[in-house]
């Protein structure tokens, strides 16, 4: 194997990237654009949930309760109704997504320590919004009840009636922001675009008839594949820097690890990913087929089998085994570990070793089938 011949193929591929605007856009701008679009799509916070109230008690306590529940910008009180018949149409036409029914005797039951007899109705067609509304109403109702006990009874009455006190402290993500967890995982997904480009490149060579010219040269099959991977490893590292900067500056995701180590581990990831792309490209002769299979093999599984949205520990054993052969599964653990907890090489080396093993396996298989197919 000659480094000089590998470098010659690398230079040829770099020239093509800068001459072909479509390829340049694909490898330089697509990951950044995907990160922006997907982040806004999957990390949108629920707020301004339209809420209606049916207050049958009409006491100062019930009115204070309504005021307490609707504080903030996440539960928006849009309607007061006088009976249930007026409430149902609001839920049916989507004017409100949740409703609180306060029965008569609410104040008496509260002061007599008989509980808080309220009913919450949610629109089941939007379960996430409804579930969020129930959670917020329950939390604020509990806070209101404790404050009312302290106001009308002894200051320690609330503590006596609620003897269990749990103090919760969240490490690494104190505010429990979903973006801190999701965005590093999304980075591992959007950086899969370079893996598709090498499959497209090999298919394009066949479509344009330039593959035969390469085969006539003394360049070996493995040298040709490694030479074509080189430029996309470099553009992938550039995208790693760009997406990380956007995550830290635009979305305010903290970075606790060593960035030089992160780049090194990213290079290993791109080696494994591009090797898989090369293996796909060996078998396909058109760019359309290469793009379709690359999306199915590398991009779409990132939603289900890399642990970004669904924990791998909760998946069946077959799915976990499938996840082991996807470079994105290992890289998602690396990105989250470096970003969120600041893991070092001592904790991440097994995943780096797994990526390197996958890269060697895919490259060897690509060179083997490449030779059988073209010899």
Query: pLDDT digit string (tens) for 127-137?
Result: 778 888 888 88
User: Region 77-94: what's the mean pLDDT?
Assistant: 86
What is the rounded distance in angstroms from the CA atom of residue 85 to the CA atom of residue 155?
Answer: 41
Residue 74, pLDDT above cutoff 90? no
Alpha-carbon gap, residue 303 to 289, rounded angstroms: 21
Q: Which CATH number is associated with domain 49-161?
A: 3.40.1710.10
Q: Which tokens go with 170?
A: 């969240």
Q: What is the total residue count of the chain?
A: 375
Q: So what's the pLDDT on residue 156?
A: 59
Contacts (Cβ under 8 Å, ≥6 apart) of 214: 205, 224
- The CA distances from residue 122 to 9, 64, 129, 298, 368, in Å, are 62, 22, 9, 39, 59
Starting at the edge strand found earlier in the chain, the sheet holding 75-81 runs 75-81, 49-55, 98-102, 119-122
pLDDT range class, residue 375, cuts 50, 70, 90 = very low
pLDDT per residue as tens digits for the range 156-166:
555 555 544 55
Question: Does pTM top 0.85 for this prediction?
Answer: no
**How would you class 68 by CB atoms within 10 Å of its CB: exposed for 0-12, middle for 13-18, buried for 19 or more?**
middle
CA dihedral sign of residues 69, 70, 71, 76: positive
Where do the CATH 3.40.1710.10 domains begin and end in the chain? 49-161
Percent of all residues in the chain with a pLDDT value above 70, rounded to a whole number:
88
DSSP 135-157: HHHHHHHHHHHHHHHHHHS-TTH
pLDDT at 305: 76
Q: Alpha-carbon distance 158 to 350, whole Å?
A: 51
Predicted local confidence at residue 175, as pLDDT: 65
> Which pLDDT score, from 0 to 100, does residue 169 have?
62
| pLDDT higher than 90, residue 351 | yes
Q: Please tell me the predicted confidence (pLDDT) of residue 215.
A: 61
Query: Strand locations in 72-129, DSSP E?
Result: 75-81, 98-102, 119-122
């Amino acid at each position: 194997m000659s480094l000089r011949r590998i470098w010659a193929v690398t230079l040829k591929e770099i020239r093509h990237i800068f001459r072909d605007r479509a390829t340049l856009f694909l490898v330089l701008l697509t990951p950044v654009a995907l990160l922006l679009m997907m982040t806004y799509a999957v990390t949108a916070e629920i707020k301004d949930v339209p809420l209606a109230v049916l207050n049958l008690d009409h006491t100062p306590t019930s009115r204070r309760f309504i005021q307490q529940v609707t504080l903030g910008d996440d539960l928006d009180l849009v309607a007061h109704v006088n009976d249930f018949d007026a409430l149902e149409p609001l839920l049916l036409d989507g004017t409100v997504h949740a409703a609180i029914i306060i029965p008569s005797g609410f104040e008496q039951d509260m002061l007599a320590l008989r509980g808080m007899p309220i009913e919450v109705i949610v629109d089941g067609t939007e379960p996430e919004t409804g579930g969020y509304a129930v959670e917020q109403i329950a939390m604020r109702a509990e806070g209101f009840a404790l404050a009312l006990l302290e106001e009308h009874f002894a200051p320690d009455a609330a503590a006596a009636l609620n003897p269990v006190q749990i103090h919760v402290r969240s490490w690494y993500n104190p505010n429990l922001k979903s973006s801190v967890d999701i965005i590093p995982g999304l980075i591992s997904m959007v950086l899969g675009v370079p893996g598709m480009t090498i499959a497209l490149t090999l298919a394009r060579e066949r479509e344009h008839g330039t593959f035969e010219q390469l085969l006539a040269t003394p360049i070996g099959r493995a040298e040709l594949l490694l030479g074509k991977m080189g430029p996309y490893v470099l553009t992938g590292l550039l995208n790693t820097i760009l997406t990380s900067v956007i995550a830290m500056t635009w979305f305010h995701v903290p970075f606790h690890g060593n960035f030089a180590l992160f780049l090194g581990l990213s290079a290993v990831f791109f080696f494994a990913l591009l090797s898989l792309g090369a293996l796909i490209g060996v078998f396909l002769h058109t760019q359309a087929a290469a793009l379709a299979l690359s999306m199915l093999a590398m991009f779409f599984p990132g939603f289900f089998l890399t642990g970004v949205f669904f924990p791998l520990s909760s998946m069946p054993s077959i799915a976990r085994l499938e996840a082991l052969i996807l470079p994105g599964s290992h890289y998602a653990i690396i990105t989250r570990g470096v970003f969120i907890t600041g893991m070092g090489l001592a904790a991440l080396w097994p995943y780096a070793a797994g990526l390197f093993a996958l890269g060697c396996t895919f490259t060897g298989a690509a060179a083997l089938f490449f030779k059988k197919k073209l010899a």
